[in-house]
Amino acid sequence: MNGKFLLRKSSLAIVCFFLFSSLAYAKPLDKAHLSNEITYTLKEVGLYSKDMHNLLMGTAAAETDFGQCPTMNRGPDLGVFQIEKSTHDDIWENWLSAKPVLTKKLKSVMWPAVPKVVQLKFNMRYQIAMAAIHYDRAHYVTKCLDRKKFTSKSDYIWWLAYVHKRYYNSFKGKSTTLRYYQKYHEYII
């Protein structure tokens, strides 16, 4: 009986995967909804801070214009945060394997019996958690973001842009600190 139930759930996941795999959002995600999802997910996995929240909001804006990028889910980068499958797999193999408590918390936002790569495309909470974990791997990133040390909001956003480019997008990526800064202003402020 239990095996049949899992088979049905897996079949449903496969149908959903093929049904939605080529779709990108027709319009940007609602800012308030995304903000609430980020807050909830970060608290659920134990990585919440206002700075991590702001960093992820800016990442969604810079990477996919809040989910309306026409190439979203068609290349190596997946989901609203454009996480590469190789980065995703590396996080699981080399980071989460040594962090059982974080892994358990991450699993609380995952859909049962759905492959991780499908969740990386369509499960917003999983995408949020994986993006936060990706940033968190650079240990001091979350610790060095202290808004009090910035003399202006503009300086703070430039710092978020630097962290995004340095630790998330990398020097090989197409995004720039200027794009992050501009998209932060366009979508968040």
pLDDT (mean) for 70-92: 83
Amino acid at 151: T
Answer whether residue 6 shows pLDDT above 50.
no
The pLDDT tens digits of the residues spanning 7-22 come to: 445 545 444 444 444 4
| Best-predicted range by mean pLDDT (2-11, 24-33, 38-47, 154-163) | 38-47
pLDDT for the residue 145 = 60
Answer whether residue 29 shows pLDDT above 80.
yes
pLDDT for the residue 19 = 41
pLDDT (mean) for 164-182: 88
pLDDT for the residue 69 = 72
**Can you read off the two tokens belonging to residue 35?**
């903000």
Answer whether residue 182 shows pLDDT above 80.
yes
DSSP secondary structure of 19-76: HHTT---SSPPPHHHHHHHHHHHHHHHT---HHHHHHHHHHHHHHHTTTT-TTTTSSS
Check residues 26 and 92 and name the one with the higher pLDDT.
92
* Rounded-to-5 percentages of helix, strand, coil across the chain: 65, 0, 30
Q: What is the DSSP letter of 78?
A: E
Answer whether residue 70 shows pLDDT above 70.
no
For the chain, the C-alpha Rg in angstroms (whole number) is 17
Check residues 150 and 1 and name the one with the higher pLDDT.
150
Give percent of the chain above pLDDT 90.
58
The pLDDT tens digits of the residues spanning 119-169 come to: 998 999 999 999 999 999 876 555 666 656 788 999 999 999 998 998 898
Check residues 59 and 151 and name the one with the higher pLDDT.
59
